[in-house]
A and B are shown apart, each in its own frame.
Chain A
Amino acid sequence: MVISTKQEKNVLTVFLKGELDHHSASRVKDAIDMEILKSSVRLLILDMTDVTFMDSSGIGLIVGRYHRIKSLGGKMQIANPNASLLRILKMSGIEKLMKIS
């Protein structure tokens, strides 16, 4: 999994590329949590354009980051999940917690 980030003012966008499973989730978690600590983030956008696979470990990761950012007074959004990712996201009820675009 390739992780890259872009910060504009207090909006942090995290671009993920590859397969998001239990194996890759811990690295993604560490990378995001480190960025959140470095500067004040009001909006965390997870860009999933290049995520080709995700299972329920991805849900755990997203919900975990949501609670983290929320506790710091920020919000989270998911961008560009493909159809099969969207199905798992909807199954988990995540769209009630954050915007998926």
Chain B
Amino acid sequence: MQPINKMKIQFDSKSANEAFARVVVSAFASQLDPTLEELAELKTAVSEAVTNSIIHGYEQMEGIIYMECRLFPESIEVIVRDEGVGIEDIEKARTPTYTSKPELERSGMGFSVMESFMDTLEIQSKVGKGTAIIMTKKFSQQKDRSFSSER
């Protein structure tokens, strides 16, 4: 299926850009008129993915994070990608409360949050090459469209 709109950005792996990425995704997704709850879930999932790239992918060193979004009539696909160290054991990384960095007070809940707040989650990773998180979210279509189309 062809997307109805798409965008691509890249930014430095700095923690200040976690909020930036959330705002960008939220602004782009707003075209589909999602509910506030759906937007909050999307922002949280994106925040987790970008934070993972910064802390784990680039191990808090310099790097570039790539974010791509595709809009479909009733859903959004978000890809967050880094060219960092990659994940050795994806199944282990997905285990709730498992963290490879307990010394940084990480909760190990990142992937669990992404899984539960989005509809699909795919992790592609290669050690030494990087990681891509591909996630999609459907938006409920039970809103009053006649009202929203007047904007």
Please list the residues of chain A having a beta carbon within 8 angstroms of any beta carbon in chain B: 19, 21-23, 25, 29, 53, 55-57, 59-61, 63-64, 83-84, 88, 91-92
Contacts and interface: CB of A to CB of B under 8 A. Distances in A.
A75 to B, nearest CB: 19
Contact of B107 (A23, A29, A59): A59
A88 B47 CA distance: 13
B109 A59 contact: yes
A91 B18 contact: no
A25 B15 CA distance: 10
B112 A21 contact: no
Interface in B1-53: 15-16, 18-19, 22, 37, 40-41, 43-44, 47-48, 51
A57 B44 contact: no
A22 B54 contact: yes
B40 A56 contact: no
Interface string B67-108: 000000000000000000000000000000100000011111
Given A53-B43, A55-B44, A55-B113, A22 B105 contact: no
Contact of A56 (B19, B37, B107): B107
Interface of B: 15-16, 18-19, 22, 37, 40-41, 43-44, 47-48, 51, 54-55, 97, 104-110, 112-113, 116
Contact of B44 (A25, A63, A84): A84
| Nearest 4 A/B pairs, CB to CB | A23-B15, A59-B107, A64-B105, A56-B109
Contact of A23 (B18, B37, B110, B112): B18
Given A55-B44, A84-B41, A92-B109, 19 more contacts: A21-B19, A21-B51, A22-B51, A22-B54, A25-B105, A53-B22, A53-B40, A55-B51, A55-B110, A56-B48, A56-B51, A56-B106, A56-B109, A56-B110, A56-B112, A57-B51, A59-B109, A60-B106, A84-B40
23 contacts: A21-B51, A22-B54, A22-B55, A29-B105, A53-B40, A55-B44, A55-B47, A56-B51, A56-B106, A56-B107, A56-B108, A56-B112, A56-B113, A57-B106, A57-B107, A60-B104, A60-B105, A63-B105, A63-B107, A64-B105, A84-B40, A84-B44, A91-B109
